[in-house]
Structure 1
Amino acid sequence: MNTRTESDAFGPVDIPAHRYWGAQTQRALDVFGAAEERFPAALTHSFGLQKRAAARANRGCGVIDPHLADAIEAAATELSDGKWDDHFPLSIWQTGSGTQTNMNANEVIANRANELLGQPLGTKSPVHPNDHVNASQSSNDSFPTVMHVSAALELTGRLRPALVSMQASLDERARAFADVVKIARTHLMDAVPTTMGRTFAAYAHQMAAAISRIDAALPQLMVLAQGGTAAGTGLNAPAQFPERFCAELAASTGLPFRTHPHKLEGMASHDALVDVSGVLNTIATSLLKLANDIRLLGSGPRCGLGELIVPDDGLTSSIMPGKRNPTIAEVLVQACFQAVGNHQTVTLAGGSGLFELNVAKPVLIYNVLQSIRVLTDACRNFDERVVKGLQVDTTQLATNVENALLSVTALNPVLGYDAVARITALALREGITPRAAALSLDLIDANQYDRIVDPARLANGE
């Protein structure tokens, strides 16, 4: 393998010649190894946005020569666009401040900037990874900033739109099923008549609430610790740098980022991200109920509830020919499990702020971003392949409504609780409809029964 040699404060390091990372990244690879758990592209792309905003702010503050700032900005833009994804080899299992990934970004951008200025990789001149790309910054404030930026962009660009689409699909199904009478179930047992439309309207409301929870959590992510440098002191950062940085980042992302009024809080603790993870945990529980209800209502086709007809996904059993399973719903269920489990990790990591620095940043943001991604992907698939194509089995529903025992609850005001209990007991014991039982007991005449125990009317609360 062809290598080049770079030097840092600890001496020379051999680096694969075609790689844009530098000495500190290579040393981290040697120290920590290459594990499977790596940061998603969303985080490295956000580092590109962060370094570009820093270069612009530093130019405006007179910290960096405009010529060098232009080169850093160009290289950082390429990073944010995904051009250098393959040059971030480090796992999340590194220093708890995320220093190694911050240096990875600094080195890739510095090498690329120097290349744009006509210099070979590894020269550190005229652009230096620490002196220029990391100017007015430290890992302690840059990594928390990137955590907020990546989470905000993923929430607004991925999960929120997926939930909006899901809500619209559920609303459409609620309207389509508005007049479809079904029997409600409480404690898993038959209850009173309702409509399938009301059931789906409840699901849609859950999605609306999920969207509102995201919107309520987002403002916390707009507050950035950038400019706090070491221990919240602002050491080596010009006084104007934080405001300039946030203005540049807001302009490039369209999100209202602003500087943290107490930057140490944004470096020593990550309560905002723990709260975001809590929102994801709640969303996961909502989606879990939705997926479980759909797969149970669609169970069968002959020996289950069979009230919903779930679209065929073309997959089947390895042993039972033609068997259809609710695979897409099962994917969503498993994604929800993952997000719920991730929240426990985030909670523990969020509580690992020791004095002036939280030292569990990598694992915290890794789990937040994974929860956003798995919930988004599973939602989109469930929406497109299941919700949009759901149909009702009207024959099965009509049979269920006709045989439902608890429709006679509507007779309570007329006959009294005890008399109605006799009707349900006889119907259940003899295997007959409650209407037949009521007439058999001579408690009410047929016309009065049909007028009072009208499932469609009862389902609409009349």
Structure 2
Amino acid sequence: MTEPYRIEKDSMGERQIPNDAYYGIQTLRAMENFPISGLPPLPTYVDACLLIKKATAIANGELGCIPKDVSQAIVQAADEILQGQLRDQFVVDIYQAGAGTSHHMNVNEVLANRALEILGDQKGNYKRVSPNDHVNYGQSTNDVIPTAIRIGGLLALEHGLYPALSDAIATLDTKAEEFQDVIKSGRTHLQDAVPVRLGEGFRAWAQILNDHMARIEMAAIDLTQLGLGGSATGTGLNTHPLYRFRVAQLLSDLIGQTVEPSRHLMAAMQSMSPFVHVSGALRNLAQDLVKISHDLRLMDSGPKTGFKEIQLPPVQPGSSIMPGKYNPVMTEMTSMVCFQVMGYDSAIALAAQAGQLELNVMMPLIAHNLIHSIEILGNAIAALTQQCLEGITANRDRCLAYAEGSLALVTALNPHIGYLNAAAVAKESLETGKSLRQIVLERQLMTTEELDKVLDLEKMSQMPASSPQEL
């Protein structure tokens, strides 16, 4: 009868490990020590670690640092897990041992035990395949984890946030064309302002998001400089001289993006500034997304007592007590996600400055917060685009009525009747309810023909030329 457990040893003693578990004794100790949040590592973070272990196993096998059959077994194990097997074996809480040693050993142990099975051996026979001596050859938590944050961030950006932003920008540009002829009242300080075109508002949002994507892409260049190969302190102790260069080539091929060894491994391992840089760019995006989300909610407010200049598509009932009510839930969700990203950014900044000497021990927090920020922002933007932006319609009559009734139209009269006369006209209109046109004519400040030219909403809402060549 097969035993339900196996015995594993480490420097602190022996422990029983469930025989069906692919993790080992160091993972078990971490599970006992850190029952904190119940949150396992993010799948993208696990993928990044597996890709690193695959690349290092190939390189160390090629360079003769570990046996070829062991190298091949580790690579096969990594590929299997990347394809979806054994994902439940990564069990260490995100709040754990400093630097990420617990998660790192969890990855090493799972790969070692699966490699043992592939070689026809039994889990736990670490003389044949060791989590430390083979899977982790030439590596340290101190260079693997910051590299995993970089790789995880690049993967999350490429497969999530960038496509979501691109779709949102394209959708906003499409809506800009659709609404280009819709004239509405502008508002500054939440008070009436001169007319604008609804389409230009959507075009402005598209430009804002486009600018943010460019900033994030620029910040993400920092993620391509790897400290992998520095081992414990950046000196490259116990690594082959060619190892870090070969691993960077392999990782570039595996993720489809060019990464390279840092010019100074110690600097790449110590400083968390690349992650602060990217996180800051994400926070900047989040802040503008909140503003756009709130604008959409305000413009859709009503239907009877608000602006109701646009209609956001209703996607679910909005009240458990008020029948027929629909709420702007997609914009509300987006704001909540953005607030979380801003909070993550603050935590990343605090964690980044908390390192000492050759190591920053707060890397597990940075890893989770940065990769999760990228992923939830991408998911939120994708959902907002599909469930909200694509289906927005304009309430054209409401927009035009607000534009025509705005006292701010008096601004266009300034060059013709002067600021003080215009202010007096606006004041009388507000007090009496008379139109601006009626008062100007009664005071004989302008003729009907002159007013027709000056109070032309089409011209007033026309955007200026973007270059001298357009004039």
TM-score by length of structure 2 reads: 0.96
Alpha-carbon distance in 2 for matches of 1:72, 1:292 = 50
Contact persistence 2:294–2:331 (CA under 8 A):
yes
In the alignment, structure 1 segments of 5+ residues that lack a partner are none
Which residue is equivalent to 1:326? 328
Alpha-carbon distance in 1 for matches of 2:76, 2:393 = 52
Helix, strand or coil at the partner of 1:179: coil
Alpha-carbon distance in 2 for matches of 1:269, 1:75 = 32
Alpha-carbon distance in 2 for matches of 1:217, 1:157 = 17
C-alpha deviation, 1:461, in angstroms? 4.9
Aligned to 1:185, which of 184, 187, 207?
Answer: 187
Aligned to 1:224, which of 226, 246, 250?
Answer: 226
Alpha-carbon distance in 1 for matches of 2:304, 2:35 = 54
Helix, strand or coil at the partner of 2:95: coil
Which residue is equivalent to 1:214? 216
Give the stretch that moved more between structures: 438-447 or 23-32.
438-447
1:245 has 2:237 as partner: no
Percent identity of paired positions between Structure 1 and Structure 2: 36
Letter in 2 for 1:94: Q
C-alpha deviation, 1:87, in angstroms? 0.2
Which residue is equivalent to 1:277? 279
Which residue is equivalent to 2:162? 160
Contact persistence 2:228–2:261 (CA under 8 A):
yes
Which residue is equivalent to 1:307? 309
Alpha-carbon distance in 1 for matches of 2:33, 2:423 = 74
Alpha-carbon distance in 2 for matches of 1:276, 1:295 = 29
Contact persistence 2:227–2:266 (CA under 8 A):
yes
Alpha-carbon distance in 2 for matches of 1:33, 1:291 = 37
Contact persistence 1:46–1:80 (CA under 8 A):
no
Contact persistence 1:173–1:200 (CA under 8 A):
yes
Helix, strand or coil at the partner of 1:230: coil
Alpha-carbon distance in 2 for matches of 1:273, 1:85 = 26
Q: 1:103 to 1:461 in 2, by over 3 A?
A: closer
Alpha-carbon distance in 2 for matches of 1:74, 1:231 = 30
Which residue is equivalent to 2:113? 111
Alpha-carbon distance in 1 for matches of 2:290, 2:37 = 31
Letter in 2 for 1:118: G
TM-score by length of structure 1 reads: 0.98
Q: Deviations over 1:104-159 (max 9, x none)?
A: 00000000000011112222242111110000101110111111100111011101
Contact persistence 1:34–1:89 (CA under 8 A):
no
Helix, strand or coil at the partner of 1:7: strand
Alpha-carbon distance in 2 for matches of 1:451, 1:261 = 65
In the alignment, structure 2 segments of 5+ residues that lack a partner are 465-471
Which residue is equivalent to 2:204? 202
Alpha-carbon distance in 2 for matches of 1:382, 1:131 = 48
1:93 has 2:128 as partner: no
Aligned to 2:382, which of 380, 383, 389?
Answer: 380
Which residue is equivalent to 1:83? 85
Which residue is equivalent to 1:175? 177
Contact persistence 2:182–2:400 (CA under 8 A):
no
Alpha-carbon distance in 2 for matches of 1:139, 1:219 = 23
Alpha-carbon distance in 2 for matches of 1:179, 1:320 = 35
Alpha-carbon distance in 2 for matches of 1:359, 1:401 = 58
Letter in 1 for 2:290: L
C-alpha deviation, 1:81, in angstroms? 2.7
Alpha-carbon distance in 2 for matches of 1:50, 1:80 = 12
Alpha-carbon distance in 2 for matches of 1:132, 1:204 = 50
Letter in 1 for 2:454: I
Which residue is equivalent to 2:35? 33
C-alpha deviation, 1:34, in angstroms? 5.6
Which residue is equivalent to 1:24? 26
Which residue is equivalent to 1:435? 437
Contact persistence 2:293–2:331 (CA under 8 A):
yes
Aligned to 2:341, which of 333, 339, 346?
Answer: 339
